[in-house]
Structure 1
Amino acid sequence: MAELKPEEAALEALLEGVTPLSGERIDRDRAAGRVLAEAVTARLDVPPFDNSAMDGYALHHADAGRWLPVAQRIAAGAPARPLARGSCARIFTGGELPPGADCVVMQERVELESDRALIPADLPEGDNVRRRGRDVALGSELLPAGERLEAAALGHLAGQGITEVPVRRRPRVALLSTGDEIVEPGQPLGPGQLYNSNRPMLRRLLERFGAEVVRVESVPDTADATRTILAEAAGQADVVVTTGGVSVGEEDHVRAAVEALGRLDLWRLAIRPGKPLALGRLPGADGQEARFVGLPGNPVSGFVGAWLFLRPLMGALLGCPALATLPRLSARADFATSTGPRRHYMRVALEFGEEGIVAKAFRDQNSGVLASCIGADALAVIPPHSRVESGEPVACLWLRGD
């Protein structure tokens, strides 16, 4: 029997030689969730001029503590005239600070009489002023290569007037389901058959990890069909993902097909769930290699395997450090468990309170119970040959961050 390999060895084998994919330029409005292929440099100062942080009165700091005539009114978007000493300007949030002014007093602190304003004396210099370039300085790095473009980053780009961005090409993934017992929803179930829950689950996870699923297919349980479809898929995709067929049964043809077509880097891991997981390489298009990830058929094993292996693989192909590793946090176990020779990834919900984080394990951790993944905020990592008592600290991999 093949020796069980640790997860670290699997990741090393999976990511060996992986380099980021080529880049392309796309419209910023279509770039949500994409990864920058190169750094973006600021074209403008933000804000582009000194402006007021609130509604109030702009003045020279030295004139505080006296009655000042209101010399002008400055709304946001309106030009400001130079402000003479001994006067003030009515100004609104975002309005351009007039030359000669260096602070703004909020309107609630000002006493008005006709066209004059009594300014309090205790004003800090520069109060309520947003200086030019405070957020972004012209010529500075706006966003680094590898940044995933989510809401704030897209706003940052728009604030520079940028309409096109250089992003990594999305990894192309072929998602193949094996097993004649697996039926697609909408078809009648025959004796001994199950609906395919892995396909929609893994497709959503892959897309969440930044991939483009370019081929979805069911593979008949024959050696010839398995080899043919794997070879075709490797010619279309950067990564071929299969579910099922990597165990040792007579109808499990995937592992043998990978060995016949390319190479098997690793098989069978010392993790629970997900022991029958295979990693390898297949001949791809234009002399390139396609990475192969053979996930177990049990849905929970596929779910856990996707987070542990597909996510960092997509991160490497996209050159995105944020995808390369799952965030770790420490929680207090609200359960007791023990492990054998395999590391256990338990599906847990996290409760955040004043006394810290509590990890609550789903009651049934069997690899066929997909319900355990629906409310899972994290995977609690239980080392091999260990015991965790209720109340003890446990390391957790956070799943809600993408």
Structure 2
Amino acid sequence: MVDWSGGNDTGPTPRKDAIWACIVREGCLLEPEYLRNRLVAEQWLEALIRTELDAGRRLFLGFDFPFGYPAGFARAMTGADDPLALWDWFERHIEDTPKANNRFDLAGQINLNFGGNGPFWMNGLRRDIDGLPRRKTDYTNPFPDRRVVETLAKGSFTCWQMAGAGAVGGQVMMGLPVLNRLRHRFAGQVAVWPFQPQGTPVAFVEIWPSLTLGAPPAGRIKDAWQVEQVTLTLSRLSEQELKAQMKVSAAEEGWILGVAQDKPNIAPPPLRNDCFALPAGVEWTPVDEALTFLRDRLHPITSVETLALTKVSGRILAEDVIAQRSNPPQPNTAVDGFGFAGPVPVGTQVMPLVDGRAAAGIPFEGHVPEGRALRVLTGAALPDGVDTVILEEDVTVKDGHIAFHGPLKKGTNTRRAGEDVAAGDMALPVGRRLTPADLALMSAVGIAEVNVRKPLRVAVVSTGDELVEPGDIAGPGQIFDANRPMLLSLIERIGFVPVDVGRVSDDRDALRDRLDQAAGQADVILTSGGASAGDEDHVSALLREAGAMQHWRIALKPGRPLALGLWSGVPVFGLPGNPVAAMVCTLIFARPALGLMSGEGWVDPQGFEVPAAFEKRKKPGRREYLRARVRNGRAEVFHSEGSGRISGLSWAEGLVEIEDGARHIKPGDPVHFIPYGSFGV
């Protein structure tokens, strides 16, 4: 396995950001090889290939840069879709020595052929290059920004970026000519995967160590450690396992070994018909037992999809997000100033300046000798030889020197690589509902796509002959449907997708058809009314007919009856018809259950203790929820506990929860207040 570099000779001492290679031969791991430049690397690779061919062994050679460009580029440059013709083209046009190469100039020339604004961007040299911008300003790309595989490999980088953090554009340009010479030098014995059939003794394969590896152990150079680990991992695969990974179709763009081409959309297991069944002999169920029962018997019912980062705000993570890149990705300066090697002793210090500067996205490529300083700007990667920065306001600059007063600790005004999040760390946990801040974090740690749960769809049905639509004429004994608009709004505020399937009269056949409609459109169904055991309680009756009905009598006020069951495999929560009871039962029972089924996990509402501004005597046996709000640090309750007083729901800003036992609450006594916001509404 080879970790490549597009830069210049890195000197005789092993260091990071250089070319590293590692061999496992017949199960024996060799020490990683430090290859100081591409000339040395090409000679080493040629000798390796000859050695293995002479010994009659097969050789799997992995390289960590793209073997192809996004669709259309090969034809635009060569007149053919053949990516290996593009390899020939780059070999003819790249000029490379250990100390210099023409990759930035070539990128600029290519851009000029397409109007000068793309596809390549980021000039990493101090001099300007016609056609190659220093920033992605006014950038237009006549080709796709990424290969298909890069849309699937979270954290991978585009091959159009020529410099800066994460750039692979230079690696591609400087790597393909080397591989092209080697494949021609050993013609007939080398096959390039996945462009050519695999039957030759030597295979060139594109790899990406960061696909599976995080940060290295302390004291190890990351590039050396990664090639060692990838070599070990692949050498331990059976031939069958390796062939399975190499079964891809990517004729033009190439592919990264280990990235699955087909991501199956695996559906979660359905709920069981008896998922709501209470233990035998249970008559009245305490609130805590009912909640525990729901938490233990339910599981996520939504499937998973992969979306781009920009599309996932408000969605629920289906898996832990692992940082693909550290934040910050490398040590950098926290201020504008001057960088040098610390620490600095007490007293006046005078240092000569090195020509150049380091800025964010434009690194200084040279070395800063000890005792000298370099101009650095906020966010710039610390150059080699710099570990300390002094604020520019504390410095006098004159005649190519700086003067300032010590002492200064080593590391002052710098940020450590990964001090926020290190590569390989868990950035966000499964089940988290993603916020704008989460999107910023994921972007910073190299995440381009994430696996999220599909939104939970919740259908709402109102039942009852007495209901009419708001705006219609209400006849004698009729009322306007208050539950459906309330529940639809609750579902949307909580973060799920409301599905309005209307209201149904007390007609069992009509309700059956409406439940069929709801089951075809949603993941969960909420009904209001008809959830008890009376003659007109058709929700309970139909669920009982379906063989998946449980009638829960909850020891709470308001809202004792709950009908729970499955209709065509879709869970149904049959809520009381009274709006106050319907809302309380939705918040206390349906809200955490929906969170669990959505993949968000079980969410307990967060309340807090406040002094009561009321007096109440409560008998034992039931838990009570009073409509309440906080004023002047004290909990007020609505003047009536009547469950038909809908105005109390609007007046309130939350619920006071009174425990199951007897209680005599006096003004000033502590009570548990749960704001509506704790339920997400």
Settle same-fold status: TM greater than 0.5: yes
- Post-superposition offset of 1:265: 2.1
**1:69-125 CA distance string (max 9 Å, x none):** 443433322212432222333333212222222222333433445654333324332
Aligned equivalent of 1:68:
351
Q: Say yes or no: does 1:324 pair with 2:603.
A: yes
Q: 3-state SS of the aligned residue for 1:120?
A: strand
CA distance in 1, matches of 2:392, 2:654: 48
In the alignment, residue 79 of structure 1 is paired with which amino acid?
P
Matching residue within 490, 493, 507 for 1:222: 507
CA distance in 2, matches of 1:140, 1:244: 49
Native 8 Å contact 1:223 1:253 kept in 2? yes
* 1:197-216 matches, cutoff 5 A: 197-216=482-501
Native 8 Å contact 1:378 1:396 kept in 2? yes
In the alignment, residue 570 of structure 2 is paired with which amino acid?
A
Q: Say yes or no: does 1:11 pair with 2:288.
A: no
Query: What RMSD, in angstroms, separates the aligned Cα atoms of the two structures?
Result: 2.8
CA distance in 1, matches of 2:311, 2:488: 20
* 1:251-400 matches, cutoff 5 A: 251-276=536-561, 278-284=562-568, 289-321=569-601, 323-340=602-619, 341-350=621-630, 358-374=634-650, 376-384=652-660, 385-400=662-677
Native 8 Å contact 2:546 2:567 kept in 1? yes
CA distance in 1, matches of 2:316, 2:417: 29
Q: 3-state SS of the aligned residue for 1:121?
A: strand
Aligned equivalent of 2:324:
43
- Post-superposition offset of 1:214: 3.6
Q: 3-state SS of the aligned residue for 2:677?
A: coil
In the alignment, residue 342 of structure 2 is paired with which amino acid?
H
Q: Say yes or no: does 1:129 pair with 2:414.
A: yes
Matching residue within 57, 66, 69 for 2:338: 57
- Post-superposition offset of 1:176: 0.5
Q: 3-state SS of the aligned residue for 2:590?
A: helix
Change in 2 beyond 3 A, CA 1:162/1:186: farther
* Identity among equivalent pairs (%): 38
Q: 3-state SS of the aligned residue for 2:406?
A: coil
Q: 3-state SS of the aligned residue for 1:85?
A: coil
Native 8 Å contact 2:344 2:408 kept in 1? no
CA distance in 1, matches of 2:492, 2:432: 17
CA distance in 2, matches of 1:306, 1:187: 27
Native 8 Å contact 2:488 2:500 kept in 1? no
Q: Which has the larger radius of gyration?
A: 2
- Post-superposition offset of 1:241: 0.8
Q: TM-score, normalised by structure 1?
A: 0.86
* 1:133-212 matches, cutoff 5 A: 133-212=418-497
- Post-superposition offset of 1:349: 3.0
**1:192-249 CA distance string (max 9 Å, x none):** 4333332222123223444333452211112332334334434543322111222455
In the alignment, residue 6 of structure 1 is paired with which amino acid?
P
**1:141-161 CA distance string (max 9 Å, x none):** 222221221122222222234
Query: 5+ unaligned residues in a row in structure 1: which ranges?
Result: none
Native 8 Å contact 2:501 2:517 kept in 1? no
Q: Answer 1 or 2: higher relative contact order, Cα 8 Å, separation at least 6.
A: 1
CA distance in 2, matches of 1:25, 1:198: 35
CA distance in 2, matches of 1:375, 1:115: 71
Q: Say yes or no: does 1:118 pair with 2:403.
A: yes
Aligned equivalent of 1:243:
528
In the alignment, residue 27 of structure 1 is paired with which amino acid?
A
CA distance in 2, matches of 1:375, 1:114: 73
Change in 2 beyond 3 A, CA 1:222/1:67: same
CA distance in 1, matches of 2:433, 2:456: 14
**1:45-87 CA distance string (max 9 Å, x none):** 2111111222333232234541334434333222124322223
In the alignment, residue 414 of structure 2 is paired with which amino acid?
V
Report the more deviating stretch, 359-368 or 324-333: 359-368
**1:239-293 CA distance string (max 9 Å, x none):** 22111222455433222222222333233322122223x1321242xxxx32221
In the alignment, residue 553 of structure 2 is paired with which amino acid?
R
Q: 3-state SS of the aligned residue for 1:33?
A: coil
- Post-superposition offset of 1:351: 6.3
CA distance in 1, matches of 2:444, 2:650: 38
Change in 2 beyond 3 A, CA 1:112/1:318: same
Size of the aligned set, in residue pairs, is 391
In the alignment, residue 286 of structure 2 is paired with which amino acid?
P
Q: 3-state SS of the aligned residue for 2:343?
A: helix
Q: 3-state SS of the aligned residue for 2:577?
A: coil
CA distance in 1, matches of 2:324, 2:491: 34
Native 8 Å contact 2:305 2:454 kept in 1? yes
Native 8 Å contact 2:344 2:410 kept in 1? no
